[in-house]
A and B are shown apart, each in its own frame.
Chain A
Amino acid sequence: MNQDPTTTRAIALRGAKNGAVNPDRSAGRSRGSTILVTSILALVALYFLVPIYWVVIAATKTSEDLFSTFGFWFAPTFALWDNLGNVLTYDDGIFVRWFFNSVLYAGVGAVLATYLAAAGGYALAKYRFRGNNAIFATVLGGVLVPGTATALPLFLLFSQMGLSNTYWSVLLPSLVSPFGLFLCRIYAQATVDDALLEAARLDGAGELRIFHGVGLRILTPALVTVFLFQLVGIWNNYFLPLIMLADSSLYPVPLGLSNWLGQTTRLPEFYGYTTGGVLLSIIPLAIAMIVLQRFWRGGLTEGSVK
């Protein structure tokens, strides 16, 4: 479009007046293009689903069938329940333990990290005090620091403090979300009205009560985004637990499964354990992603839109 903005706006207004009640945001359509576009999308979907499909099939096979039968179809023997039973009972149910560790790290970590980021972001947005900008700039720098760059020195620090190889060594770093603080500050600036806070103050509410009663409620949409980000971030983290944990009973699922994978070259039965474990750990995640994906729209680009 080589039109200047005013003309465009005029045309836009005219369009609106012409009774465009429900403005069509699409780029155009026709029967032919619908078929073409939808088939492209379906082909791409195939790419994303193939590994999942494969592991579902593979988890139903015995270790021998895994290698001797075609990977994209079932083998004559259906061994799914045996395989899953093996996964759940191996080494006194260590897999179940890993799963609960993951839930603990990701669940507790994400809830507390969201609360702390909300309190910090709200404080930076709604109070004027010395050092406000300096703190914000420093934390913002933290967003850009690669997580793996701090993991190594963090290990040295934690081992001096006697914290390495404990739940704390993975949980404590998971409680800090610089990105969350950044998002909450921007969101609090845009949505939390000073007049509302002032009204609460005149009613005699304390500052912390105002934050918990008024601030947190208004911040909820941003909090959902921060929580999901942190949840997935912690659940997927591999480097930090790998460095921090030596005791396999403290492992989260990914670290445990990577251990099993490492044994496959020597002990082929671990192929069966690993595929079964992968299937079991993917099911809750896949469901969560599909259910939660609509929440990701919200605050995701809050930072970039501004």
Chain B
Amino acid sequence: MTDARTDASDTARLRSQTPSTSRSAVRTGAVARAPWILLAPFLALFVLTFILPILVAVGSSFMKVTRKGLFGEAGVTESFVWFDNYAQALGDGNFLASIGRVLLFGVVQVPVMIVVATVLALLLESASAKWPGAFRAMYFMPYGVPGVIATILWAFLYVPGLSPIVDVAGLVGIEIDFFAPETVLWSIANIITWTYVGYNMLIIIAQLKAIPGELYEAARTDGAGPWRIAFDIQLPLIAPALVLTTVFSIIGTLQLFAEPQLLATFSPAIDSQYTPNLSAFTTAFAYNDYNVAAAQAVLIALVAFLLSFAFLRLTNRKNK
């Protein structure tokens, strides 16, 4: 990929330099300036909203603000404290538990969601499905519903007295409490699955559509049935899309915030440190400890990076 690009731009540059008139010198200058003019606005904003915040986060995660006097009236001093904030974050059992909780969530929810999305994509792309366009649109629709709105919707379907689901289950003799300590994590998983299955399904369908029709012809000539085609042709060829969606789902899982934060209104089982992000949010805005919150934010990003890379490595090895 990179080679092709370099070659192409090489030729472009050679071409733009070959005419040895005086005008070409001017034009070369313009060609040299142009990419920077085009990139400048993006880069300026990228530095402001990505690079600087990351530097600020890393920087302040190594600092500590000490207030002098009973209420800090004698001034504040900032000092470099090495890994103290990280030690404090990692020494906090609740923060560690929140990471463990989202990992458990991810181990269950991400595979379920990817499998469901894959099955739906395969079914919709099989000739056996009637009205695939209508179904596809219905499945994708929740992706446009903001996480907050989706959570409110499902919260109302979870609240006893308001929820017809709880009513119906009660009639049949099943007592469901969607907000109990042992169920609320899976109530959240349901909201996330509802929102993102259709989106992941569309990515997989796009990949399925890229499979050349002759491959199907060939397989059928060989006498392969639908199952055989799904497992031996479709699944291997959509593997890149599956890897991509899994990586983005892992990153998304670690960021869980809106759903637990809103459900906390109804469920006493959700505390202010239920997920890592909720933890960092609480540390920053309830305890006003920005330094430890910065350390927590850095740790969350690191875990997301590590998991994504580990998964990419794992799948790469399997493919070779």
Say whether A107 faces chain B, with CB atoms less than 8 Å apart.
no
Q: Please pick, from A132, A173, A235, the residue contacting B146 in the complex, using a CB distance under 8 A.
A: A235
Say whether B205 faces chain A, with CB atoms less than 8 Å apart.
yes
Instruction: List chain B positions with a Cβ less than 8 A from chain A.
Output: 1-2, 4-6, 8-13, 15-16, 27, 30-39, 41-43, 45-46, 48-54, 56-57, 60, 120, 122-131, 135-150, 152-157, 161-165, 167, 194, 198, 202-203, 205-207, 209-222, 224-226, 228-230, 232-234, 240-241, 243-244, 251, 254-255, 257-258, 262, 265-266, 277, 280-281, 284-285, 290, 293-294, 297-298, 300-301, 304-305, 308
**Are A36 and B128 touching (Cβ within 8 A)?**
yes
Q: Please pick, from B150, B234, B244, B297, the residue contacting A304 in the complex, using a CB distance under 8 A.
A: B244
**Are A265 and B50 touching (Cβ within 8 A)?**
no
**Are A189 and B4 touching (Cβ within 8 A)?**
yes
Nearest CB on B from A214, distance (A): 13
Q: Please pick, from B46, B129, B298, the residue contacting A176 in the complex, using a CB distance under 8 A.
A: B46
Considering the chains assembled together, what is the distance between the CA atoms of A199 and B4 in angstroms? 21
Q: What are 6 contact pairs spanning A and B, CB under 8 A?
A: A24-B217, A71-B164, A119-B38, A239-B257, A258-B152, A293-B137
**Are B37 and A208 touching (Cβ within 8 A)?**
yes
Known: A41-B120, A257-B148. 4 other contacts (CB 8 A): A24-B216, A28-B220, A301-B206, A304-B244
Instruction: List chain A positions with a Cβ less than 8 A from chain B.
Output: 1, 3, 8-9, 11-16, 20, 23-30, 33-34, 36-38, 40-42, 44-45, 47-52, 54-55, 58, 66-67, 70-72, 116-117, 119-120, 122-129, 132-133, 135, 138-139, 142, 144-150, 152-154, 156-157, 172-173, 175-176, 178, 181, 189, 194, 197-198, 201, 206-208, 211, 232, 235-236, 238-239, 243, 253-255, 257-258, 261-262, 264-265, 271, 274-275, 278, 281-282, 285-286, 288-290, 293, 296-297, 300-301, 303-306
CB-CB under 8 A for A297 and B209, given A26-B216, A51-B157, A116-B41: yes
**Are B57 and A149 touching (Cβ within 8 A)?**
yes
Q: Please pick, from B9, B37, B141, B300, the residue contacting A146 in the complex, using a CB distance under 8 A.
A: B300
Residue in B137, B156, B211, B300 with the greatest tally of chain A CB atoms within 10 Å = B156
Nearest CB on A from B249, distance (A): 12
Residue in B12, B50, B143, B210 with the greatest tally of chain A CB atoms within 10 Å = B50
Return chain B residues, CB-CB under 8 Å to A264: 265
Please give me the 6 A-B residue pairs with the lowest Cβ-Cβ distance, nearest first: A23-B213, A71-B164, A26-B127, A207-B34, A289-B144, A12-B214
Nearest CB on B from A190, distance (A): 9
Q: Please pick, from A38, A124, A257, the residue contacting B149 in the complex, using a CB distance under 8 A.
A: A257
Return chain B residues, CB-CB under 8 Å to A296: 140, 202, 206
Chain B minimum-CB-distance residue to A210: B34
Return chain B residues, CB-CB under 8 Å to A71: 157, 162-165, 167
Residue in A50, A138, A207 with the greatest tally of chain B CB atoms within 10 Å = A207
Q: Please pick, from A13, A38, A66, A138, the residue contacting B129 in the complex, using a CB distance under 8 A.
A: A38
**Are B138 and A150 touching (Cβ within 8 A)?**
no
**Are B15 and A232 touching (Cβ within 8 A)?**
no
Chain B minimum-CB-distance residue to A139: B46
Nearest CB on B from A171, distance (A): 11
**Are B219 and A1 touching (Cβ within 8 A)?**
yes
**Are A145 and B141 touching (Cβ within 8 A)?**
no
**Are B148 and A305 touching (Cβ within 8 A)?**
no
**Are A54 and B137 touching (Cβ within 8 A)?**
no
Nearest CB on B from A217, distance (A): 16
**Are B202 and A300 touching (Cβ within 8 A)?**
yes
For the complex, would chain B's binding face be called helix, strand, loop or mixed by DSSP majority?
helix
**Are A152 and B57 touching (Cβ within 8 A)?**
yes
Q: Please pick, from A38, A50, A129, A275, the residue contacting B35 in the complex, using a CB distance under 8 A.
A: A129
Chain A minimum-CB-distance residue to B195: A236
**Are B258 and A238 touching (Cβ within 8 A)?**
yes
Nearest CB on A from B121, distance (A): 11
Considering the chains assembled together, what is the distance between the CA atoms of A67 and B164 in angstroms? 10
**Are A1 and B31 touching (Cβ within 8 A)?**
no
Return chain A residues, CB-CB under 8 Å to B234: 27
Considering the chains assembled together, what is the distance between the CA atoms of A213 and B307 in angstroms? 43
Q: Please pick, from B42, B150, B233, the residue contacting A117 in the complex, using a CB distance under 8 A.
A: B42
Return chain B residues, CB-CB under 8 Å to A29: 126-128
Return chain A residues, CB-CB under 8 Å to B148: 236, 238, 254-255, 257-258
CB-CB under 8 A for A150 and B202, given A27-B230, A232-B144: no
Return chain B residues, CB-CB under 8 Å to A122: 38
**Are B129 and A58 touching (Cβ within 8 A)?**
no
**Are B225 and A172 touching (Cβ within 8 A)?**
no
Considering the chains assembled together, what is the distance between the CA atoms of A49 and B145 in angstroms? 12
Chain A minimum-CB-distance residue to B305: A144
**Are A123 and B38 touching (Cβ within 8 A)?**
yes
**Are A152 and B50 touching (Cβ within 8 A)?**
no
Q: Please pick, from A45, A176, A265, A305, the residue contacting B138 in the complex, using a CB distance under 8 A.
A: A45
